Amino acid sequence: MYAAASDAGVCRITYDVTAEAFETDMLNCFEADVAFVPDDDLLSSVEDQVTRYFASELKVFDLPLDFLRGTPFYRQVWRAQQAIPYGECRSYKWVAERSRRPRAARAVGQANRNNDISLLVPCHRVIASGGRLGGYGGQPDIKAFLLDHEGADYIR
Give per-10-residue mean pLDDT for the chain (156 aa).
84 77 69 61 92 97 91 96 97 96 95 92 94 80 94 90
**Domain 72-150 carries which CATH code?**
1.10.10.10
Nearest to 137 by CA among 105, 107, 115: 115
Question: Which one of 11, 29, 89, 123 is the catalytic residue?
Answer: 123
Q: For the chain, where do the domains classified as CATH 1.10.10.10 start and end?
A: 72-150
Give the model's pLDDT for residue 20: 75
C-alpha angle 59/139/42, rounded to 5°?
Answer: 40
* 48, 94, 102, 137 from 108: Cα distances, Å: 29, 10, 10, 13
Q: Which residues pair with 12 in a beta bridge?
A: 4
Active site annotation includes 11? no
Helix (H, G, I), strand (E, B) or coil at 2: strand
Q: Cα separation of 132 and 153, whole Å?
A: 10
Q: What is the pTM of this model?
A: 0.87
